[in-house]
Amino acid sequence: MHQLTSVNGKSSLDTMNILTSANVSRLEGMQHTRCSMNATRYGSSATLIASLLSHDIRHHLTVVYCNAEFLSEPETLEEDRKQLFEEVKLAIADATRVLDFILFHAKSDLSVQNTVESFNDLIERTVSAIRPHPHAEGVTITICESPSVYARFNQTIVSSAVYNLMLNACFAAQRASGPGKVEISFHDEHQFVCIVVKDNGPGVPAGMLQDLFQPFGKSDKQDGTGLGITIASYVAHEYGGSLRIESSSPGCTIFALRLLKRFSQF
C-alpha cells in the first residue's frame, strides 16, 4: 500500500486527543486482590469489564476516523481506497463484537461461556486489526512460527488483552532508534498458554517500572497512560495467569502473557 498523507503533509487528526498513550509498566508484583478492589469500586465485575473494554472501542473508532479522512481525499488511489475500506469494516466489526459482549455481560447474571478457540486464529485476527492503527504506522509486525494451540477461553476478553499488549509494543517501537519492529509468538507451557510480545523500542524507564501502573488512576483518566497494560494484566489474572516483563532494555522489551488453559472465570 502507498504511503498515505493528508494534503497538508500530516493528518489533521490530533491523535494525542483521541488515542490512548501506550506507556508500559512493571506488573510482576500486581496482586489479584487489586482487581477485586477495582471491581468493588466500580460496583460490579460487569461495570469493570465495560470500563476496560471501552478502551478498545476507542482504538477501533480511531482507525475508522483516520481511514475516513484518507478516503475523503481525492489524491487517494483506488487501490488504497479498497484497502482502507476493508480496514474500516474490520474496525467496525471488532467494535461491534466488543459492544455485544459488554451488553451481554451487563444483562446476564451467568458467567459468559468460554469455548475452545485457536490461538493461531486469534493472533492472526488481532494483528490484522492493529496494522491500520496510527500507533502501528511504520512498524513491522511479525507473527513468529508457532505450533497449533487450542484452549478454552472467551475470545473477546483474551483478544482484548493481546490487542492492547501488542498496541503498546507498536507504540514503543515507533520510538526505536531504527525501523520499528514487533514480534509475537506463543507456545504451550505446561498448563499455560504463553504469549510473548517483543519490541525494539527504547525500553521501560526504570522510574516507571513500579510507579506508573495505577489502575484507573488520575493519569489513566487524563490520557489513558498504562490502561492497555492494565487490561492485559487484569485478563491474565482472571485466567489464573500473569503478565510479566521478561526483559526491558533499549532495543529489546519482552512481555510474556500467561493464561491457564483450563481456567474458566468469565
Q: What is the pLDDT of residue 174?
A: 93
Report pTM.
0.62
Q: Express each pLDDT in 16-54 by its tens digit.
A: 333 333 333 333 333 343 444 444 444 445 565 666 666
The span from the CA of 171 to the CA of 21, in Å, is 8
**Domains of the chain from N-terminus onward:** 20-260 (3.30.565.10)
Confidence category of residue 78, pLDDT binned at 50, 70, 90: confident
The span from the CA of 264 to the CA of 239, in Å, is 7
Q: Express each pLDDT in 131-179 by its tens digit.
A: 888 889 899 999 999 999 998 888 888 888 898 899 889 989 999 999 9
Q: Check: CB of residue 97 under 8 Å from CB of residue 134.
A: no
Average model confidence (pLDDT) across the chain: 72
The span from the CA of 119 to the CA of 217, in Å, is 32
Q: Check: CB of residue 132 under 8 Å from CB of residue 160.
A: no
